Structure 1
Amino acid sequence: MKTELVQCFVWGVPVYRQRFSLVASRPATERFYRLIRSAMAHAEQLRDPFTGDLECDETTFGGARKGKRGWGAAGKVIVFGIVKRNGVVKAQPIPAHDRASIMQVIQARSREGSLYYTDDWQAYATLKLRGDHVVIRKEKGRPVGRDHINGIEGFWSYAKNWLYPYRGVPRKHFHLYLGEICYRFNHRDRDIEPMLISLLKRLTVDDVDLN
């Protein structure tokens, strides 16, 4: 049974789409999916801080709603991400769209001396104290010159497309979905089914986040 559930998970089949062919009850299947996501998120948390050429950016996740738009829109989750050029990604929710929140992540998830590529948001100005800093300016949505942050922007597209079939996710579990997406992206050239089975076998109680 567990192997079938892992296979459905790997294929990206939401639980609600399995309602006529569930191999376990819906609550049990949802809990098992959450267990897998917890294992993936835990694995991503163990990655060493990045170094080298890094792209940094922030975005929001959440469906369209009436009322205020932009960074202060109700119901949106603000996410900050770092992509190592031609490599892997780290992304996590942040409490606010401000300098303190992003710098806390950058300090924890990257090493001093790296080369940072960002947009021209003023909050990134102090990056020059950690390493080299290239500011990407845009005209009509396109980068001016040869420098870019296409890597992290491509990840945002990947993540939002992956979440679309779920028709919204519980806010309290959003970090697990984001950990899953990072894991899938970072192993995009591999068959993750045997990797997930191995992860589940190594899980301990302290690794699991099922609340």
Structure 2
Amino acid sequence: MEQDEQAARRYLRSLCWPDETPRCPRCANAKIYSLSNDRLRCAACKYTFRPFTGRWLDNGALNCSQWLTLLRLFANDTPMAEIMETLSLSYNTAFKATTAIRFAILAHATDSAQLLGPDTRLDSYLKGTRLTGGPACMRMDSIPVYGIMETDQWVFIDLIPGFRAETLFHFHLNFHLKIVRSGHLVYSDKYKNYDTLLLCGNDTLPYDCIRRRRGKVHVDEAETPFWGYLLNNLKRLRGISCQRFPLYLKELEFRYNNRGKDLLPMLDNYLCALVRPGVGI
């Protein structure tokens, strides 16, 4: 068992430092000297750290072999109950660790700087490089709206600048944009270049004002096969909050755009990447 843990640790360290040269997570200086208890110190900025300090991997009370097992299970889209049973973890521990993986995925999206900023309120979960914060309060004027665009079987989920829940409801009531509610999920007909606009709301939204016009909101699944994939997966997940909604959107975007590929090597590298709040990777 100890040998497995040592091997797992060596593997994860090799992903953090592919050239086998430790670097400071603060200033990237390579002149590092060792201290006791697996600690390291930067000769330039004097920062004391451990091999996984400042990385997504450093969020969650798991050892290295547990992380590798969790990453394999997550890559296979294993349900949370099975993850907890396989690793003998409490729900809170498993949830925090899988949240770290989802943040790591989102941090590697092309629009990560925007998504990790105040527009989504995901920044409220981060204190420096640690996932120790809590969800910010969201109401109608702060709940963001996302747009789905799919071309050539490649999907992109975009945070719509300047759009909030109140904007979507305003367009519905005054400009005849059809919207529909499914639980806290609200989505629209095609809008400009987007196949649909959607948001995850909460109890502050005036769902009763959604008009029951004839006909349904139409999202063309022939042109947007991702839409059916998204809905089926969101139905499996219960209790998604508006604050965490972009984490699940970007996870599903990642899985869909990489379907048919081995996700595990990508997830391994993502989790070992440095946390750079507000900076695109």
TM range (shorter): 0.5 to 0.7
> Which residue is equivalent to 2:164?
95
1:111-156 alpha-carbon deviations (Å, 9 max, x no partner): xxxxxxxx986x639xxxxxxxxxxxxxx88x9xxxx67333x211
Change (3 A) 1:120 1:166: closer
The higher relative CO (CA closer than 8 Å, separation ≥ 6) is in 1
1:207 deviates by 6.5
Q: 2:80 aligns with which of 15, 40, 63?
A: 15
Change (3 A) 1:207 1:34: farther
1:3 deviates by 0.7
Change (3 A) 1:19 1:181: same
- CA contact 1:81–1:92 (8 Å) conserved in 2: no
2:99 counterpart SS class: helix
Matched, 1:189 2:254: no
TM-score in terms of structure 2 length: 0.42
Q: How does 1:97-112 map to 2 (within 5 A)?
A: 97=168
Instruction: Calculate percent identity across the aligned residue pairs.
Output: 24
1:81 deviates by 0.8
> Which residue is equivalent to 1:84?
151
- The number of residues matched between the two structures is 143
TM-score in terms of structure 1 length: 0.54
CA–CA separation in structure 2 for the residues paired with 1:197 and 1:91:
25
Q: How does 1:37-52 map to 2 (within 5 A)?
A: 37-46=102-111
Unmatched runs of 5 consecutive residues or more in structure 2 = 1-65, 113-142, 172-187, 194-214
> Which residue is equivalent to 1:54?
none
CA–CA separation in structure 1 for the residues paired with 2:233 and 2:78:
11
CA–CA separation in structure 2 for the residues paired with 1:173 and 1:156:
19
Matched, 1:150 2:218: no
> Which residue is equivalent to 2:238?
167
- CA contact 1:5–1:23 (8 Å) conserved in 2: no
CA RMSD of aligned residues (A): 3.7
- CA contact 1:81–1:90 (8 Å) conserved in 2: yes
2:245 counterpart SS class: helix
CA–CA separation in structure 2 for the residues paired with 1:14 and 1:120:
31
Change (3 A) 1:85 1:170: same
CA–CA separation in structure 1 for the residues paired with 2:189 and 2:101:
37
